[in-house]
Structure 1
Amino acid sequence: MTTTAKADSAARRTGVYLGVLQLVFTLGWTTYVIYLPNLCAEVGIAPATVILLLMLDQGIFTITDTAMGMAADRISRMLGRLGIFVGVLTAISCAAFISLPYVAGTGPGAQGWLIALIVIWAVTSSALRAPPLMLLGKYRPRPQVPFLAALAMLGYGLAGAVSPYLGVMLRNQDARLPFLLSGAVLLLTTLALSGIERRLAQDTPSVQPAPPAKPLGRLPMFFIASMVILSLGYQLHFSINSGPFFLRFAKPDGLQWLMPVFWVGFNIAMFPASVVVKHRGGLIVMGVAGLLGALAVALAEMAGSLNVLIAAQFMAGAAWGCMPMSAVSAALAIGETGAEGKVTGTVFSALALATFARMAAVAGGLQKMPDYAPLLHWAPVACWSVAGAGLLVIAASRLQRGVKAV
């Protein structure tokens, strides 16, 4: 096997590994969300407080995802240290995660301990998002990055597809075994990161140690603001509006079969879109996906039959799949001066901030207020169309100035 073929094979294995890591991590988060109301009830925390704890998690992610990315930029200058850094934090995270149901089982006196463990888990779990993905920008040639980013985000998409079934399966199960299995599998998966990092370095001998990060300019700020808006559109459409859309034509017990249609589109669209990113850049694909997604959401809003709604949801999921995949590729390109982790971390911070905003809307009962219902229905269309158009304008401006696409 030639050196190039070996490098390509190693790259594919890295993409698959990152996809598995994101799958395991996201399923662990889903397990946590499923059981959190019961855990809170065991220690005497009121049901209305559960949403506040979930908002606390997202608030923490908003800060720590970027902080972990910045730390990864510094640590990655020493070969092999990034895997150790992520492994140690993951061990702490998994220990806190596995302890949650056991501590909750001790009763109302453990309220403070439960909240403390949740905070520790949230802070340390941020090490599993931006730091592993930054390896793609550090060790792989830019043309390979979009496909590898698609492989990595496939884990996120698969977890979204199986989450409704996971909720049905775990609904009446004791929490201790799922938490133990999720934490153990995640830790074992993460322990392989050091080996992956060293093999990537060996297969990419021309890569020099990353220089100190340079100022990033105005583009990253616009890029991250756009990612926040796109993510908010996704949160409002999928988490708030999609269920009621389907309930116009289906019964509640059919949602577990209909909601994954969005994620089918997500998983399928990323790979052909990665080819376009490779040749045209992530900003252009994000912009086009935003506009197409806005059209799909509008069709879902006006759908007159279940079949039309399913097709619209598939299109919306496909559009959303293109957005985070392209965003990761663009972030690694923008941060190629030694800030890959920082810019990638801000992408995940944007996702967390949008999730926080959606939860705040739910906690405030906006979806139940007749005056705000039209706003919530059409806000995703506005978010995706405005951000998509803005990204296309920026991409076109860069091309006119002869600046390379990102």
Structure 2
Amino acid sequence: MESTESDKGAGLRLAAVQFVFTLGWTVYVVFLPALLARAGLPANWLPWLLIIDQAIFAIMDIAFGLMADRIGQAWQRLARAILWLSTLSALAFLALPLVSGVAPAAMLAVTLLWVVTASVVRAPTMVLLAKQARAAQQPALVAWYSGGMALAMALSPFFGLWLKGSDPLLPFAVSAAVLWLAVVALLRWQQPLPASDESALPPLPFASYRPLLAGLLLAAFGLQLHAFVNAGPLFGKLAEPARLPWLLPWLWVGFAAAMPMVGALCKRCGALRVAGGGLLAAAAMISVAPAVNWENSLMLLQLLAGFGWGLAFAGLMSFASAAGSRGAEGLFMGSFFAMTAVAAVARILVASQWLPALGDSRYTLPATCLFIAACGTLWLARRLPDRH
């Protein structure tokens, strides 16, 4: 990806924030069953609590995005808001293992506080940089953001295995402190950029963007169903359970490998064409996965599926960032992240409530969703203006 040293500094800090936030979510999910038990809450609350968490993320992504747009170019006010909310989020996260043994209501209240305030490191951090970045810089920022998330996802199986059975206080404390420091580093780096000579195009009408959000929702649901629900059983047919932490990350390795070329591809082909092509590639690889009977073949398919999903995710995010410039970055990016959270709600519902009813169609559903989303994205690529 082409960027100046200054751009790389912003990108690295943004990647660090998303890396630590994603690993912090892993800490939360790993220890949540034990925290529920300590609070005296039934184990069957687990999926419903995760669903509520994701639903709150979806609401707050849009709410914080709109807040960022109202603040406008007063980036220092936005940075202060992010800092205060991040501080409150870190304190709430640190308190979670401490209050879980006090009372169920206390644990649920602190969890709610953490989820609401933690949303500030999802869309708003990206919006803060997008509002200051020139159009040519935005694909690089998207790539850094996505790369940090992908690296954390790749490490999550090892991280979860390492944390299992340990006392939750230290992991929660370290995660809270490191994320807060990463956010502070990102905000301290920021300086207002000089006005550029690029034309000040108004944001794309939001009504034109809604069909793309529907496609993102469908694609994200399909990918999550494959990655978090189906991939384990598929590898489990071919490998020992102890090898799964070494096999499951291959999808996210492929995702990360796509990031260096996203900017150049979006500039040459257009963000939606890149996204549509990536969705087609991911759909093709995932559709073949249930039929393979060799571990190495499945690893390769996962790698290629992740590469395709990386192009799709970053391409769609890059389009959202550019389409919202200047003045509606928060609405467009907040809606983007909200759709990924709604997809997580749907995936958890399917996995916890309806999976037996799906039978073997659970393995064909992800590819079908991705293929439909790919066709819709490529159709929109012919009708929506590309600003790269």
TM-score, structure 1 as length reference: 0.91
Residue 10 of structure 2 is matched in structure 1 by 14
Residue 356 of structure 2 is matched in structure 1 by 368
Deviations, residues 170-206 of structure 1 (Å, cap 9, x unaligned): 1021000110111011111112333233x2x1xx211
Whether contact under 8 Å (1:231, 1:354) holds in the other structure is yes
Residue 250 of structure 1 is matched in structure 2 by 239
Residue 150 of structure 2 is matched in structure 1 by 157
| Structure 2 residue matching 1:218: 3-state secondary structure | helix
What is the rounded CA distance, in whole Å, between the counterparts of 2:78 and 2:6 in structure 1?
18
Residue 141 of structure 2 is matched in structure 1 by 148
Matching residue's letter, 2:38: E
Deviations, residues 302-357 of structure 1 (Å, cap 9, x unaligned): 11211211111111111111222112211111101311111111111011000000
Residue 260 of structure 1 is matched in structure 2 by 249
Shift of the 217–46 alpha-carbon distance from structure 1 to 2, 3 Å rule, reads: closer
Indicate whether 1:396 and 2:382 are aligned.
yes
| Structure 2 residue matching 1:181: 3-state secondary structure | helix
Whether contact under 8 Å (2:86, 2:118) holds in the other structure is yes
What is the rounded CA distance, in whole Å, between the counterparts of 1:195 and 1:240 in structure 2?
39
Residue 341 of structure 1 is matched in structure 2 by 330
What is the rounded CA distance, in whole Å, between the counterparts of 1:156 and 1:167 in structure 2?
16
Residue 133 of structure 1 is matched in structure 2 by 126
Indicate whether 1:186 and 2:179 are aligned.
yes
Instruction: Give the unaligned 5+ runs of structure 1.
Output: none
Aligned equivalent of 2:24, options 28, 49, 73: 28
Residue 328 of structure 1 is matched in structure 2 by 317
Residue 59 of structure 1 is matched in structure 2 by 55
Residue 85 of structure 2 is matched in structure 1 by 89
1:177-326 map, 5 Å: 177-197=170-190, 199=191, 201=192, 204-206=193-195, 216-326=205-315
What is the rounded CA distance, in whole Å, between the counterparts of 1:83 and 1:170 in structure 2?
33
What is the rounded CA distance, in whole Å, between the counterparts of 2:372 and 2:359 in structure 1?
20
What is the rounded CA distance, in whole Å, between the counterparts of 1:112 and 1:207 in structure 2?
51
Matching residue's letter, 1:387: A
Instruction: Give the unaligned 5+ runs of structure 2.
Output: none
Matching residue's letter, 1:367: L
Tell me the CA shift for residue 148 of structure 1.
Answer: 2.3
Whether contact under 8 Å (1:280, 1:405) holds in the other structure is no
Aligned equivalent of 1:115, options 108, 111, 131: 108
What is the rounded CA distance, in whole Å, between the counterparts of 1:61 and 1:290 in structure 2?
25
| Structure 2 residue matching 1:334: 3-state secondary structure | helix
Count of matched residue positions in the alignment of Structure 1 and Structure 2? 386
Tell me the CA shift for residue 138 of structure 1.
Answer: 1.8
What is the rounded CA distance, in whole Å, between the counterparts of 1:277 and 1:289 in structure 2?
12
Indicate whether 1:101 and 2:97 are aligned.
yes
What is the rounded CA distance, in whole Å, between the counterparts of 1:217 and 1:100 in structure 2?
38
Tell me the CA shift for residue 389 of structure 1.
Answer: 1.0
Tell me the CA shift for residue 215 of structure 1.
Answer: 7.1
1:40-79 map, 5 Å: 40-79=36-75
Matching residue's letter, 1:61: F
Matching residue's letter, 2:349: A
What is the rounded CA distance, in whole Å, between the counterparts of 2:203 and 2:239 in structure 1?
53
Shift of the 404–100 alpha-carbon distance from structure 1 to 2, 3 Å rule, reads: closer
What is the rounded CA distance, in whole Å, between the counterparts of 1:103 and 1:135 in structure 2?
33
Deviations, residues 111-130 of structure 1 (Å, cap 9, x unaligned): 00100111111111111011
Whether contact under 8 Å (1:82, 1:194) holds in the other structure is no
Matching residue's letter, 1:252: P
Tell me the CA shift for residue 214 of structure 1.
Answer: 5.9
Deviations, residues 247-303 of structure 1 (Å, cap 9, x unaligned): 111111110110011111011012223310122222111111111111000121211
Tell me the CA shift for residue 212 of structure 1.
Answer: 12
Tell me the CA shift for residue 207 of structure 1.
Answer: 5.1
| Structure 1 residue matching 2:165: 3-state secondary structure | coil
Matching residue's letter, 1:121: W
What is the rounded CA distance, in whole Å, between the counterparts of 1:150 and 1:16 in structure 2?
10
What is the rounded CA distance, in whole Å, between the counterparts of 1:214 and 1:330 in structure 2?
11
